[in-house]
A and B are shown apart, each in its own frame.
Chain A
Amino acid sequence: MSFQPVKFYQTGTFTVGNRLLVPEERSVQANMERTNSLNSGHRACQGCGEALGARYAIDAAMHATNNQLIAANATGCLEVFSTPYPETSWQIPWMHSLFGNAPAVATGIAAAIKVKRQKGMKDDVRVVAQGGDGGTTDIGFGCLSGMFERNDDVLYICYDNGGYMNTGVQRSSATPPAARTATTMPVGQQPGNVFGQGKFMPAIAMAHEIPYVATATVADLRDLEHKVRKAMTFRGARYIHILVPCPLGWGSASQDTIKLSRLAKETGMFPVFEAEYGELTNSSKIRRLLPVEEYLKPQKRFAHLFGKSPAVGTIVRLQALADKNIRRYQMLDKEAN
Chain B
Amino acid sequence: MLKQMEGSHAVAEAVALCRPEVICAYPISPQTHIVEGIGEMVKAGEIANCEFINVESEFAAMSVAIGSSATGARTYTATASQGLLFMVEAVYNASGLGLPIVMTVANRAIGAPINIWNDHSDSISQRDSGWIQLFAETNQEALDLHIQAFKLAEELSLPVMVCMDGFILTHAYERVDIPTQEQVDAFLPPYEPRQMLDTSAPVSIGAMVGPEAFTEVRYLAHEKQMQALELVPKMAEEFKAIFGRDSGGLVRTYRTEDAETIVIAMGSVLGTIKDTVDEMRDAGVKIGVLGITSFRPFPLDAVRQAIQHVKRVVVLEKTFAVGIGGILSTDVRTAFAGIDILAYTVIAGLGGRPITMKSLHELFEKAGRDDLVPLTFLDLDWKVVNKQLARERQQRRSGPAAENILRDVSTTAANLS
Q: Is B384 an interface residue (CB 8 A)?
A: no
Bound complex: CA A92 to CA B201 (Å): 8
A143 in contact with B202 given A95-B197, A105-B67 (CB within 8 Å):
no
**Among the listed stretches A48-56, A78-86, A179-187, A292-300, which one makes contact with chain B, having 4 or more residues with CB under 8 Å of it?**
A78-86
Write out the residue numbers on chain A whose beta carbons fall within 8 Å of the beta carbon of B209: 85
Q: Is B269 an interface residue (CB 8 A)?
A: no
Beta-carbon contacts of A91-118 to B below 8 Å, as 1s and 0s? 1111111101100111111111111101
Bound complex: CA A276 to CA B69 (Å): 32
Q: Is B272 an interface residue (CB 8 A)?
A: no
A109 in contact with B67 given A114-B51, A115-B50, A142-B59 (CB within 8 Å):
yes
**A117-150 interface with B by 8 A CB criterion:** 118-119, 123, 125, 142-143, 145-146, 149-150
Q: Is B410 an interface residue (CB 8 A)?
A: no
Write out the residue numbers on chain A whose beta carbons fall within 8 Å of the beta carbon of B97: 97
Q: Is B68 an interface residue (CB 8 A)?
A: yes
Contact partner, B210, options A84, A93, A95, A143, Cβ 8 Å: A84
Q: Which one of A72, A85, A115 has the highest number of Cβ atoms from chain B below 10 Å of its Cβ?
A: A115
Beta-carbon contacts of B48-66 to A below 8 Å, as 1s and 0s? 0111011111011001111
Contact partner, B67, options A69, A88, A107, A116, Cβ 8 Å: A107
Write out the residue numbers on chain A whose beta carbons fall within 8 Å of the beta carbon of B206: 95-97
A150/B53 in contact, CB under 8 A? yes
A107 in contact with B53 given A94-B204, A95-B205, A96-B205 (CB within 8 Å):
yes
Write the chain A residue with the least CB distance to B23: A111
Give the contact-size bracket for chain B.
Answer: 35 or more
A119 in contact with B59 given A70-B197, A111-B73, A150-B54 (CB within 8 Å):
no
Q: Is A90 an interface residue (CB 8 A)?
A: yes
Bound complex: CA A100 to CA B56 (Å): 13
Write the chain B residue with the least CB distance to A119: B49
Q: Which one of B53, B57, B199, B202 has the highest number of Cβ atoms from chain A below 10 Å of its Cβ?
A: B199
Q: Is B177 an interface residue (CB 8 A)?
A: no
Q: Is B203 an interface residue (CB 8 A)?
A: yes
Bound complex: CA A10 to CA B58 (Å): 52
B73/A100 in contact, CB under 8 A? no
Write out the residue numbers on chain A whose beta carbons fall within 8 Å of the beta carbon of B210: 84
A146/B198 in contact, CB under 8 A? no
Bound complex: CA A237 to CA B67 (Å): 16
Write out the residue numbers on chain B whose beta carbons fall within 8 Å of the beta carbon of A100: 59, 89
Beta-carbon contacts of B73-102 to A below 8 Å, as 1s and 0s? 101000000000000011001000100000
Contact partner, A98, options B73, B90, B205, Cβ 8 Å: B90
What is the minimal beta-carbon distance from B102 to any residue of chain A, in angstroms?
Answer: 14
Q: Is B1 an interface residue (CB 8 A)?
A: no
Write out the residue numbers on chain A whose beta carbons fall within 8 Å of the beta carbon of B22: 108, 111-112, 115
Q: Is A68 an interface residue (CB 8 A)?
A: yes
Bound complex: CA A98 to CA B69 (Å): 15
Contact partner, B60, options A67, A84, A104, Cβ 8 Å: A104
A90/B204 in contact, CB under 8 A? yes
**B1-52 interface with A by 8 A CB criterion:** 21-22, 24, 49-51
A93/B203 in contact, CB under 8 A? yes
Write out the residue numbers on chain B whose beta carbons fall within 8 Å of the beta carbon of A83: 204, 207-208
Bound complex: CA A104 to CA B65 (Å): 9
Bound complex: CA A79 to CA B71 (Å): 19
Write out the residue numbers on chain A whose beta carbons fall within 8 Å of the beta carbon of B204: 83, 85, 88, 90, 94-96
Bound complex: CA A121 to CA B417 (Å): 68
A98/B89 in contact, CB under 8 A? yes
B71/A113 in contact, CB under 8 A? yes
Write the chain B residue with the least CB distance to A95: B205
Q: List 5 A-B contacts (CB under 8 A).
A: A95-B206, A101-B63, A108-B64, A143-B57, A143-B60
19 A-B pairs besides A101-B63, A108-B64, A111-B53 with CB distance below 8 A are A83-B204, A93-B197, A95-B206, A97-B90, A97-B206, A98-B93, A101-B60, A105-B63, A109-B71, A109-B197, A111-B67, A112-B21, A112-B72, A113-B71, A115-B51, A116-B71, A118-B49, A142-B60, A146-B56
A interface residues, Cβ below 8 angstroms from B: 67-70, 72, 79-80, 83-85, 88, 90-98, 100-101, 104-116, 118-119, 123, 125, 142-143, 145-146, 149-150
